[in-house]
Amino acid sequence: MREIVLSTDNINKLREIREILEDLDIKIYGKSDIEGLDFEVIEDGDTLYDNALKKVSAMAERVDFAVLADDTGLFVKALNGEPGVHSARYASEHDDKKNREKLLNNLKDKEDRSAYFKTEIILIDEDKNIIPIEGVCTGKISLEERGDNGFGYDSIFIPDGFDKTFAEMSHEEKNQISHRSRALKNLRDKISNL
């Protein structure tokens, strides 16, 4: 069985990634499951790619496993792409509720509510090959929060083709179409050949 360490201990992300890759014979660890990975990376890159590369490189230096990092942003057209790479700390560091409130407030008078999520995933395999891949999910920002089945900006994002937010969907439904699942599905062939 292959083993991959993720650059996160976010239980929602770990769950999503495990669900999407569950048919592959891969054991997926969170960062805190592996000794020696108890370090902080300052995510101050200008792009999702820069941040993902920082996180994954710091791990690859310390372990011989394959390592995978993802960095995600929500890009809102009427706000010139904000919060984008600053999504985690838009209003306040890792306070999802405040971040959502700030976004809804900034969009109050805007007609165009279109937005997209983008996930940048970088895998560094056991031979230290760097494999980057992206996934995008387009949609719009809802007028108010709806649903409680998600995390981050899920309760204010309505993907194209639906009239409910990610937080009103089952995990399976979100995993069919989400930015992260699209990136991971693109990566699956490569992972299965590790």
Q: Annotation-wise, does 72 bind a ligand? A: yes
120 in contact with ligand IMP (CB under 6 A):
no
Give the H/E segment covering residue 59.
helix 48-60
65 in contact with ligand IMP (CB under 6 A):
no
Neighbours of 170 (CB within 10 A): 9
**Tokens 């981050």 belong to which residue?**
152
Residues 9-48 within binding reach of ligand IMP (CB under 6 A): none
142 in contact with ligand IMP (CB under 6 A):
no
Least CB distance from residue 64 to ligand IMP, whole Å? 25
Q: Is 8 left (phi over 0), alpha (psi -120 to 50) or beta?
A: beta
Least CB distance from residue 26 to ligand IMP, whole Å? 20
Q: Annotation-wise, does 130 bind a ligand? A: no
82 in contact with ligand IMP (CB under 6 A):
no
**Greatest C-alpha distance within the chain:** 53
Per the residue annotation, which of 71, 112, 125, 148 is the catalytic one?
71
Stretch that binds ligand IMP, among 28-36, 66-74, 101-109, 127-135 (CB under 6 A): 66-74
| Closest of 54, 14, 48, 19 to residue 119, by C-alpha | 48
168 in contact with ligand IMP (CB under 6 A):
no
Q: Determine the Cα–Cα distance for residues 52 and 41; give it in Å rounded to an integer.
A: 10
Residues, the chain? 194
With respect to ligand IMP, which residue has the nearer C-beta, 65 or 166?
A: 166
139 in contact with ligand IMP (CB under 6 A):
no
Q: Give DSSP secondary structure letters for 107-175.
A: TTT-S--EEEEEEEEEEE-TT--EEEEEEEEEEEE-SS---SS--TTGGGEEETT-SS-GGGS-HHHHH
Find the binder of ligand IMP among 72, 165, 175, 181 (CB under 6 A): 72
70 included as an active-site residue:
no
How many residues bind ligand IMP (CB under 6 A)? The answer is: 14
Rounded to 5 degrees, φ, ψ at 60 are: -60, -30
Residue numbers annotated as active site: 71
Q: Point out the annotated binding site for substrate.
A: 8-13, 72, 151-154, 174, 179-180
| Contact set with ligand IMP (CB under 6 A) | 70-72, 87-88, 96, 99, 151-154, 166, 178, 180
